[in-house]
Amino acid sequence: MKIRVQGVARSFRVEGREAPALLPIDLDVAAREVICLLGPSGCGKSTLLNIVAGFLQPTAGRVLVDDAPVTGPGADRGVVFQEYVLFPWLTVQGNVEFGLVLKGLAAGERRDIARRYLELVGLGPHAEKYPVQLSGGMKQRVAIARALANSPSIILMDEPFGALDAQTREVLQEELSRIQRVEHKTILFVTHSIREAVYLADRVVVLTKAPGRIKDVFAIKLPEVRDRFATEFTRYESEITRVVKEEVAQVHQ
């Protein structure tokens, strides 16, 4: 297994009391697998992702990556944030080269790698621009190229397309799906959108309302290139919608 989440739970101190945010989670992720995490907001999706990224310590349990326990963030796990989080003082090219600079790669080599990934996300002509000059969709493409250029085996994405308009969002889903067919990363992808999850995932993990635990797991047995209007696709969509709605309904009670 590429990632093993073993009994991972997390609570936060709120007003002097320990409030659980995430109940024990067990999840094994195979190499090259795409897992989408779905669940009502506040159920602990980001918390789980941040624990796998090494930004947060779990209060119980542990995460193994390639059988070694996660103790902090590292270059083997690339992260793409909803807020893009580009380095505004670096050009697009400089952003994509960032991890390679840290590794001490020669300038020529860095350039070639960065160019390759910028081409892959369709931003070749924008290499010299600064982040302020880009639209949201372009920024997120840079963030994806930056993560990929560093060649991590795992990519963690926390609602990466959540701030984009519906059209851009679908385009980026298609690009990510195309990239994954070439790059074969292990991806943990948090989303609010059931359609997005069914479009991208090998397995969709649905969490309960807060504090979250795993409610259901759906293996999506659809072809690599997916059609959002295929009957099989919409069947998954409605099946998962039903399960998610149970939780959302409880949140609003």
Partner 1 sequence: MEWGLRGAAIPRQRALRLRLTSVIGFLALWSLASGAVVVFKLFNPIFLPGPWLVVGDIVELAGKGQLWTHLAATLYRVAIGFGAGALLALGLGLPAGHIRAVRNLLEPVVELLRPIPPLAMLPLFIVWVGIGEGSKIGFITYATFFPMFLTTVHAVGQVDPLLLRAAQSLGARPRQLFFRIILPAALPEILTGIRLGVALSFFVIVISEFIGAEHGLGYLINDGRNFFLVPQMLGAAVLLGLLGYVGNGLVRAIERRVTRWQHHDGAAA
> To the nearest whole angstrom, how small is the minimum distance from the Cβ of residue 158 to Mg ion?
6
Whether residue 211 is preceded by a cis peptide bond, meaning omega within 30 degrees of 0, is yes
> To the nearest whole angstrom, how small is the minimum distance from the Cβ of residue 44 to ligand ADP?
4
Q: What dihedral do alpha carbons 109, 114, 117, 119 form, nearest 10°?
A: -110
Closer by beta carbon to ligand ADP, 12 or else 87: 12
Contacting range for partner 1; rule: CB under 8 A; set: 4-12, 33-41, 109-117, 126-134: 126-134
Closer by beta carbon to ligand ADP, 14 or else 132: 14
d(CA 86, CA 37): 24
- Give, as ranges, the residues between 42 and 101 that touch partner 1 (CB under 8 A): 53-55, 72-75, 77-79, 81, 83, 85, 87-91, 98-99, 101
Give the binding site for ligand ADP (CB under 6 A): 12, 14, 21, 39, 41-47, 210
Picked from Mg ion, ligand ADP, partner 1, none, the partner binding residue 55 (CB below 5 to 8 A depending on kind) is partner 1
First to last CA, the chain: 39
Q: Strands (DSSP E) along 42-185, which ranges?
A: 60-65, 68-69, 77-80, 154-158
DSSP state of 126: G
Total residues contacting partner 1 by CB under 8 A comes to 32
How many other β-carbons are positioned within 10 Å of the β-carbon of residue 121?
22
> To the nearest whole angstrom, how small is the minimum distance from the Cβ of residue 212 to ligand ADP?
7
> To the nearest whole angstrom, how small is the minimum distance from the Cβ of residue 45 to Mg ion?
5
Closer by beta carbon to Mg ion, 230 or else 251: 251
- Give, as ranges, the residues between 145 and 204 that touch partner 1 (CB under 8 A): 146-147, 150
CB 128 within 8 A of CB 93: yes
140 binds Mg ion (CB under 5 A): no
208 binds Mg ion (CB under 5 A): no
- Give, as ranges, the residues between 30 and 49 that touch Mg ion (CB under 5 A): 46
CB 240 within 8 A of CB 220: no
Q: What dihedral do alpha carbons 171, 158, 177, 150 form, nearest 10°?
A: 110
Of 209, 207, 213, which Cα lies nearest the Cα of 240? 207
106 binds partner 1 (CB under 8 A): no
DSSP state of 66: T
Q: Cα dist. 66→31, 60, 77, 187 in Å?
A: 9, 20, 11, 14
50 binds Mg ion (CB under 5 A): no
Residue ranges in contact with partner 1 by CB under 8 A: 53-55, 72-75, 77-79, 81, 83, 85, 87-91, 98-99, 101-103, 128-133, 146-147, 150
